[in-house]
Amino acid sequence: MSLRPYLEMLKESNFLVEIHDKVKQEYEITEYLQTNNNKTVLFTNVEKSHFPLIGNSLTSREQLKFVLNEHENYYSFFQQSLINPKQPTEVETSLTFSNKKQANFSHLPIPKFFPGDGGRYLSSVIVFAQFPNTDAPNMSIHRIMVLDNQRGTMRIVPRDLHKIFLENKKNGLDTPIAVINGYHPILALAASSPTPSGKSELDLANSLMKGELSIVQTPRYGISVPSDVEFILEGRILAEEETVEGPFVDITGTFDDIRNQPIVQFDDVLFRDNAIFQTILPAYEEHFILMGFPREAEIHNCVSKIVPKVHGVYLTPSGCGWLNAVISVTTENAGDAKKVGLTAFQAHPSLKWCTVVNEDIDIYNNKAVEWARITRAGTNDITILKNIKGSSLDPSRNRDNDTSIKVIIDATKKKGKTGYDRVIPF
């Protein structure tokens, strides 16, 4: 499963818009992606680059069905894939090896999204690295701000790649990486997902692709990456060099903090014939779905262990696809809704607000959810937890230690009480 057949499927289903006018890398790509925020956009004529560019590759739940090729049970299919990842097949070579050049960002269609951004940004690249002294791969999405033709500064959050980098740095070593661009959206979903201990995101991606994923080792550093992608860039995260990264508009639609981050030195770029480059517009639907949907599945799996039935989990667009959840459950006992909220915070530590409703409330209908909050949450139904570790993306957090409030709203019907049923439909 690769990008090109996916684009053909989107075109046949009227999800693809092609822009043949010449577009500028600075801000103009953003304008087209905003205007066509419910369609995938293919730019065939980007200034200063002969490579076409796509954005909005996954912008709706309807498109998600096409991505996972599961039109009825796509949500449960994703959950089962999280639980049962499968190791992909390794192959000897790849069409991505068809062309090899010295890395040069000036040839690639890399946008500057908003006024105030620190520069042009690679926002959609998936970074592959290996844990020191092992063959165990890590796969994660990181933004890279372009510094010059071969270098960028990468935002590395304190997760697995950060651990790999620090371990190498401690030994005075750079961290070899391979970066892919131009890929099937399943790879981005897998890269954004929590994976079981001892399993890699590549195993999850293969499970989501129903066993059709193959991997190949990169020529310079021998890092395992998916074989059927448009671009592979090989380089190193430098152990002893860092510089300012940002400003950058992140998922909340506000500027993330400016930080000193490691510099990445790229060596080679490999690419297919007629390769297609890829970008993600920050703080819009694709960003929300790629970050939020895997967390919904993780919350669903965890909450299902404490209540009789989970009917749905939704990280809302108004909560930036990250900070606010609505969870529909069947409850049995007083206090179940609070347990659901606490479990959701454990499953997704960045979560800030959690509203728990019953199955009669459509979690995708904001009007219905608001009605449940107003009519079913009373004096004892709102729990506020203070000074709890939260998201570094939350502008209202305590910036000294990244703590914030966490709020649980029990908007369920209460056992033994009447008057909660809505007579008039929404």
pLDDT at 61: 85
CATH number at residue 352: 3.40.1670.10
Q: Are residues 130 and 256 in the same domain?
A: yes
**CA–CA separation, 220 vs 209, rounded Å?**
27
User: Would 184 be classed as within a structural domain?
Assistant: yes
Active-site amino acid positions: 250
Q: Are residues 189 and 293 in the same domain?
A: no
pLDDT at 71: 65
The gap from C-alpha 126 to its chain's centroid, in whole angstroms, comes to 10
H, E, C per residue of the chain: CCHHHHHHHHHHCCCEEEECCCECCECHHHHHHHHCCCCEEEECCECCCCCCEEECCCCCHHHHHHHHCCCCCHHHHHHHHHHCCCCCEECCCCHHHHEEEECCHHHCCCCECCCCCCCCEECCCEEEEECCCCCCEEEEECCEEECCCCEEEECCCCCHHHHHHHHHHHCCCCEEEEEEECCCHHHHHHHCCCCCCCCCHHHHHHHHCCCCCEEEECCCCCCEEECCCCEEEEEEEEEEEEEEECCCECCCCCECCCEEEEEEEEEEEEECCCCCEECCCCCCHHHHHHHHHHHHHHHHHHHCCCCCEEEEEEECHHHCCCCEEEEEEECCCCCHHHHHHHHHHHHCCCCCEEEEECCCCCCCCHHHHHHHHHHHCCCCCEEEEEEEECCCCCCCCECCCCEEEEEEEECCCCCCCCCCCCCCCC
| Single residue among 279, 298, 332 that ends a domain in this structure | 279
- Domain extent, residue 177, equals 63-279
Same domain, 176 and 222: yes
Per-residue pLDDT of 30-40, as tens digits, reads 999 999 999 99
Q: Are residues 303 and 383 in the same domain?
A: yes
CA pair distance 36, 71, nearest whole angstrom: 23
Q: Is residue 55 assigned to a domain?
A: no
User: Shortest CA distance to 310 belongs to which of 301, 321, 322, 298?
Assistant: 301
The answer on 247 and 321 residing in a single domain is: no
Number of domains the chain is built from: 2
Give the span between the Cα atoms of 105 and 88, in whole angstroms: 31
Q: Is residue 18 part of a domain?
A: no
Please name the residues in contact with 169: beta carbons below 8 A apart, sequence gap of 6 or more.
175, 239, 240
Same domain, 177 and 274: yes
Please give the mean pLDDT across all residues of the chain.
94
Q: What is the distance of C-alpha 165 from the center of its chain?
A: 21
Answer whether residue 326 is part of any domain.
Answer: yes
Same domain, 273 and 298: no
pLDDT band at 175 (very low <50, low <70, confident <90, very high): very high
C-alpha to C-alpha distance for 345 and 134, rounded to whole angstroms: 32
Q: Is residue 54 part of a domain?
A: no
The one-letter code for the residue type at 39 is K
- Quick: pLDDT tens for 50-104: 999 999 999 988 888 888 887 677 778 888 888 888 999 999 999 999 999 999 9
Q: Are residues 342 and 311 in the same domain?
A: yes
Q: Is the confidence at residue 199, as pLDDT, over 80?
A: no
Angle among Cα 416, 421, 426 to the nearest 5 degrees reads 160
Task: Give 197's pLDDT tier (boundaries 50, 70, 90).
Answer: low
Q: What's the CATH number where 128 sits?
A: 2.30.110.10
What pLDDT, on the 0 to 100 scale, is given for residue 233? 98
pLDDT at 136: 79
Instruction: Read off the pLDDT band of 425 (50, 70, 90).
Output: confident
Instruction: Out of 220, 244, 279, pick the residue that ends a domain.
Output: 279
Is 245 a domain residue? Answer: yes
* Peptide linkage before 247 cis (omega within 30 of 0): yes
Residues 267 and 128 in one domain: yes
pTM of the model: 0.93
Per residue in 120-169, pLDDT (tens digit) is 999 999 999 999 888 778 999 999 999 999 999 999 998 899 999 999 99
Determine, yes or no, domain membership for 9. Answer: no
35 lies in some domain: no
- Over the stretch 318-363, which tens digit does the pLDDT of each residue have? 999 999 999 999 998 989 999 999 999 999 999 999 999 999 999 9
Q: Which amino acid makes up residue 345?
A: F
What is the tens place of the pLDDT at every residue in 210-239? 999 999 999 999 999 999 999 999 999 999
140 and 229 inside one domain: yes
Are 283 and 252 in contact, with CB atoms under 8 Å apart? Answer: yes
* Residue that terminates a domain, selected from 249, 279, 309: 279
Same domain (yes/no): 226, 186: yes
Note whether 270 and 323 are same-domain residues.
Answer: no
Mean pLDDT of 357-374: 97
